[in-house]
Amino acid sequence: MSEQIKYVMTEERIPLAWYNIQADLPVPAPPVLHPGTGKPIGPEDLAAIFPMKLIEQEVSTEREIEIPEPVREIYRQWRPTPLYRARQLERALGTPARIYYKYEGYSPPGSHKANTAVAQAYYNKQAGIKRLSTETGAGQWGSSLAMGCQHFGLECKVYMVRVSFDQKPYRKALMQTYGAEVTASPSEETAAGRAVLAQNPNSPGSLGIAISEAVEVAAQDKDTNYALGSVLNHVLLHQSVIGQEAMEQMAMAGDQPDVVIGCTGGGSNFAGLAFPFVGAKLRGEGYEKIRVVAVEPTACPSLTRGQYAYDFGDTARLTPLLKMHTLGSEFIPPAIHTGGLRYHGMAPLVSHLRTLELIEAIGVQQVECFAAGVQFARLEGILPAPEANHAIAAVIREANRCKEEGVSRAILFNLSGHGHFDMSAYTAYLSGQLKDYEYPEQEIAMALAHLPVVAS
């Protein structure tokens, strides 16, 4: 019998509850503020666009929140996802490191986003909602929500960032196959979209703009709610199934991670894998020396170079104010190919953990990321999403460090999705067209100059 490379569990081992890190924080995260009053918002401020159950989850400090059985039933199609050991990669690197990855690409839309999409669709259906509106960048989230809506008989309206809409016709087609209505953002359909187009008819769009459009239509129609694919606490909560399963699977492997790595755009796949480990550490249940590393593109460096401040979640300033690492809500990232890691802000809980020094953050250039992704695909077979390539690049750095130091550490990372819909980016890389990009200091400073002033 050869070495074990896959750790699978039967479906009874899908967690019964999501894990909420807010129960274990040494310092509570700063509250979400109302932009008009500067005071913490109440549930009623969010009720126009979210169902009450999700609002409750957003502010809950309960450690465990039960996963409804209809959601768990859908999870069972692809969960528990396997944990793999990357033996071929280890051998190729000649590293003493033990590299593990949790693979979320087996969900039908191909990424971790399905974990929260199904939950959000369920709670909205329970609340009598008929339609969900949302934004999407690379399309992982939009296609996940489109699938989630189909499962519960909801309509789905997706504002897709223009540059991705044009670069990723296959993702758009997937959403449409799942029955969603997909519109390029900025669009003429909303006041927010029209305002942007008036200034720049050729705007490539941004997640911030697309969020404004989706929130606007949800706020104006009582049958329509809004759904967000990352950033918010309840979204990170739903992703905690990843880390909970991984913890059990690492135990099956007879191992414990020394380093946990995830890529960060809005922060949800990273948090999904990492928070259960951080929580265990905070509760004194081991993992005292665990390092947790968030990896972001240098072209959208919110955690590494943004400001930790209150900012809007969207460009049109329709959302409440979130305390997070931000590049400014008017930030429009360069048209790099990692569509899913282009948000101006960061999940407030991820930012909070960063300020508490419970996690680290690094930025990686995209050529290094794609080189890592191609190496991984050739060795391990699975073709990673460009987002996940950031995590892989960091894993390779850590594994090389183990080699230099002659130390064997266990590295666990989240392979958050496959890259089947991102092949044009791989083609660009393989043909040498992909360029590195570092955001200029003065541009970041300019963008940050427009942060909202918050009444104290």
β-pair partners for 311: 322
- The reply on whether position 408 binds a second copy by CB under 8 A is no
Q: Which is nearer to a second copy, 124 or 233 (CB)?
A: 124
Residue 16 CA, distance from chain mean position:
22
Q: How far is the CB of 384 from a second copy (least distance, A)?
A: 10
Out of 52, 106, 256, 334, the only residue in the binding site for a second copy (CB under 8 A) is 106
Entry field: residues in the chain: 456
- The reply on whether position 176 binds a second copy by CB under 8 A is yes
- Per-residue binding string, a second copy, 1-40, x by CB under 8 A, is -x--xx-x-xx-----------------------------
What is the footprint of a second copy within residues 213-242 (CB under 8 A)?
none
CA dist., res. 203 & res. 353, Å (int): 34
Angle (nearest 5°) at CA 68 between 66 and 70: 160
Task: Please give the helix or strand (H or E) that residue 349 lies within, else none.
Answer: helix 348-355
- The reply on whether position 178 binds a second copy by CB under 8 A is yes
| 209 and 191 Cβ atoms separated by less than 8 Å | no
* CA 17 to each of CA 56, 64, 285, 349: distance values in angstroms, whole numbers, following the listed order: 15, 6, 19, 19
Out of 37, 200, 427, 433, the only residue in the binding site for a second copy (CB under 8 A) is 427
- The reply on whether position 76 binds a second copy by CB under 8 A is yes
Q: Which is nearer to a second copy, 28 or 381 (CB)?
A: 381
Q: Which is nearer to a second copy, 109 or 266 (CB)?
A: 109
Query: What number of CA atoms fall less than 13 Å from residue 434's CA on the CB side?
Result: 21
- Per-residue binding string, a second copy, 338-377, x by CB under 8 A, is ------------------------------------x--x
* CA 455 to each of CA 39, 151, 352: distance values in angstroms, whole numbers, following the listed order: 8, 43, 21
Q: Is the peptide bond before 201 cis (omega within 30 degrees of 0)?
A: no
CA dist., res. 375 & res. 90, Å (int): 11
- Helices 268-282 and 113-126: crossing angle in degrees, nearest 10, is 90
- The reply on whether position 397 binds a second copy by CB under 8 A is no
Q: How far is the CB of 371 from a second copy (least distance, A)?
A: 12
What is the footprint of a second copy within residues 135-164 (CB under 8 A)?
147, 150-151
Using the structure block, give the residue that is written with the tokens 């449409």.
176
- The reply on whether position 430 binds a second copy by CB under 8 A is yes
- The reply on whether position 92 binds a second copy by CB under 8 A is no
Q: How far is the CB of 378 from a second copy (least distance, A)?
A: 5
β-pair partners for 308: 325
Q: How far is the CB of 396 from a second copy (least distance, A)?
A: 17
**Two tokens at 65?**
């929140």
Dihedral through CA 52, CA 61, CA 9, CA 253, nearest 10? Answer: 150
CA dist., res. 188 & res. 196, Å (int): 9
Q: Which is nearer to a second copy, 48 or 92 (CB)?
A: 92
CA dist., res. 314 & res. 345, Å (int): 9
Size of the residue set binding a second copy (CB under 8 A) = 46
Q: Which is nearer to a second copy, 423 or 446 (CB)?
A: 423
- The reply on whether position 256 binds a second copy by CB under 8 A is no
Residues contributing to the site for a second copy (CB under 8 A): 2, 5-6, 8, 10-11, 69-70, 73-74, 76-77, 84, 88, 106-110, 147, 150-151, 169-170, 173-174, 176-179, 374, 377-383, 418, 420-421, 423-424, 426-427, 430
